[in-house]
Amino acid sequence: MLRFFYPRSFPRLLFVGFTLVALPLIFALVGSAVTVDQMANRSQQAVYRAVLATQASRRLAELLTAMERSARQMVILGERKLLDTYGSNRKNFMETAREFSALPFDSEQTMALGEIMSGEETIFATLSDPAAPEPQLQKAVGGFVELAEHAKTITARSNELIDREVEVMLATAAQAQRIIFWQLLALIPVVVFLVIGFTIVITRPIRQIDQAIRRLGSGELNAAVNVSGPEDLQYLGERLDWMRRRLLDLEQQKNRFLRHVSHELKTPLTAVREGAELLSDEVVGKLLPRQREIAEILRHNSIELQKLIEDLLSYSASQFHRVTLELNPVEIRRVIDRVADDLALALRAKGLKLEIATDNVTLPADFEKLRIILDNLMSNAIKFSPPGGAISIAARANGTLLQLDIADEGPGILPGDRAHIFDPFYQGAQAVHGIVKGTGIGLSIVKEYAQAHGGSVEIVDRGDRPGALLRVQLPLARTEALS
């Protein structure tokens, strides 16, 4: 099993995550900066050499032209004094030639510079000889034409070198661009992997805490709370598990209390009910009308109390143990008739009319659980119906489901109560306050038993018609949920 090694605290985990995600990006930025810096240095050096070569070659050409002009003037005018001007230009020429020779040029340029230097030495030697005849001087001056050609060769070669350096720079820039592009392309999956990985690592303990809180909120108290992550989040998980154990202990105490109290009340109440039955049957003697009325009140309220206690016992059992079903083929009409017989006295006491419309439907169900569902729904309908009203029960097959509707003509269920009406011990704003107050668990038992059968219970909107309509839907065929 894959285990994650977390830092000691959640902020430190966030810091490590952001650092690891940022490192590849920082690496890419540094690599790009180094490449750009190398290109900038190389470009600077290339531009510097190109400027020096251009300046030197242009200076050589200018000085050769000045020297040629001085030499021709001296030969034509016969003025030896003009040799001083030639000498001054020659001195500048020699300095420029030395600077030029120090530059990193190729062999062709070096050879052309050597030809210029040797040719100029020969011309200067001839011009410096006072005994040199005029034809020799004319021939020496004519040598500047060849020197100018060599100077042009140097200039052309310098331009070629500059163009070649520019091409090399462009190629280097393109190569650097490709390298940066592939680096970024290779970093994208790395960054995405790190982001997804640390998102999972960071959100995992938070998701575990969220699931634990949701389970606690929905009343699922049996599953322990386990949070894997930094120590502070693990500590929070331990506190949640402590709260879960406390809630589970309180829930168990409540269920034990309900079982004990319900059991202790059931025995004396049975005696009270049997006594009321004996009085009603005039076993101890004939009763006066007033006495019979009192005996009926005792009998009716003892039945109501017994039903409340049975509801508490059923709810306690459903909370303490998983609801188990004894599935057999059950005719829904038999269940309706049984419940109608059980509640016949309550119906007569309020003068209520019971309307039954049912198809001949058989389904796999637990007869007793189905009887409790219908008994609780009908008891609620009787409780909220006005005297002389009507209660309707309709059962029919709707596709693969049995649809069982129970409707009354009472005040109905307020919209604000509908979201909680099936919660245990919840009593809506329309609760009836009589001698025996309800517990608010009847509909919660209906919901649990319906869900145990793989079905559901819901409130159906009746529009402008008065009263409430509750609909129970149960599967007509045996499903995996019932197995």
Contact assessment for residue 398 and residue 361, using Cβ atoms and an 8 Å cutoff: no
User: What's residue 475's pLDDT?
Assistant: 92
Model confidence band, residue 473 (pLDDT cutoffs 50, 70, 90): very high
d(CA 79, CA 140): 16
Higher pLDDT, 269 or 121: 121
What radius of gyration, in Å, describes the C-alpha atoms of the chain?
55
Contact assessment for residue 309 and residue 266, using Cβ atoms and an 8 Å cutoff: yes
User: What's residue 189's pLDDT?
Assistant: 81
d(CA 88, CA 94): 10
Length of the chain: 483
Written as six digits, the tokens of 14 are 């966030």
Q: Quick one: angle between helices 289-320 and 231-280, nearest 10?
A: 150
Q: HSE, CB side, 13 Å, CA atoms: give it for residue 162.
A: 16
Give the H/E segment covering residue 403. Answer: strand 401-407
d(CA 68, CA 83): 11
Residue with tokens 């049997």: 274
Higher pLDDT, 301 or 342: 342
Rounded to a whole number, what is the largest CA-CA distance in the chain? 181
Q: How many other CB atoms sit within 10 Å of the CB of residue 357? A: 10
Contact assessment for residue 382 and residue 417, using Cβ atoms and an 8 Å cutoff: no
User: What's residue 481's pLDDT?
Assistant: 43
Per-chain mean pLDDT for the chain:
78
User: What predicted TM-score, i.e. pTM, was given to this entire model?
Assistant: 0.45
Q: Is 148 exposed, middle or buried (0-12, 13-18, 19+ CB in 10 A)?
A: middle
Give the H/E segment covering residue 364. Answer: strand 362-365
Q: Which amino acid is at 460?
A: V
Coil, strand or helix: which one is 24? helix
Model confidence band, residue 312 (pLDDT cutoffs 50, 70, 90): low
Contact assessment for residue 35 and residue 177, using Cβ atoms and an 8 Å cutoff: no
Coil, strand or helix: which one is 329? strand
Distance, C-alpha 371 to centroid of its chain: 47
Phi and psi based region of residue 352 (left: phi greater than 0; alpha: psi -120 to 50; beta: remaining): beta
d(CA 247, CA 75): 123
Contact assessment for residue 198 and residue 20, using Cβ atoms and an 8 Å cutoff: yes
Higher pLDDT, 268 or 328: 328
Model confidence at 27: pLDDT above 50: yes
Tell me the pLDDT tens digit for each residue of 223-258. 888 888 777 778 888 888 898 888 888 877 877 776
Give the residue among 62, 60, 131, 42 at the shortest CA–CA distance from 97.
60
User: What's residue 403's pLDDT?
Assistant: 92
Contact assessment for residue 124 and residue 58, using Cβ atoms and an 8 Å cutoff: no
Higher pLDDT, 156 or 398: 398
What percent of the chain clears pLDDT 90, i.e. is strictly above it?
A: 8
Written as six digits, the tokens of 110 are 């070096």
Q: How many other CB atoms sit within 10 Å of the CB of residue 260? A: 11
User: Which of 274-283, 409-418, 441-450, 454-463 has the lowest average pLDDT?
Assistant: 274-283
Higher pLDDT, 482 or 257: 257
Tell me the pLDDT tens digit for each residue of 422-463. 877 666 655 554 444 455 677 888 888 888 888 999 988 877
| Residue 61 CB partners (closer than 8 Å, separation 6+) | 148, 151, 152, 155
Written as six digits, the tokens of 269 are 């109440």
Q: Tell me the CA end-to-end span of the chain in Å, nearest whole number.
A: 34
User: What's residue 471's pLDDT?
Assistant: 93
User: What's residue 434's pLDDT?
Assistant: 46
Exposure pattern of 405-425 as b/e (b: 16+ CB <10 Å)? bbbbbbbbbeeebeeebbebe
Model confidence band, residue 104 (pLDDT cutoffs 50, 70, 90): low
Model confidence at 395: pLDDT above 80: yes
- Residue-by-residue DSSP string for 146-208: HHHHHHHHHHHHHHHHHHHHHHHHHHHHHHHHHHHHHHHHHHHHHHHHHHHHHHHHHHHHHHH
| Residue 45 CB partners (closer than 8 Å, separation 6+) | none
d(CA 463, CA 249): 44
Model confidence at 111: pLDDT above 70: yes
Model confidence at 3: pLDDT above 60: no
Average pLDDT of 37-61?
A: 74
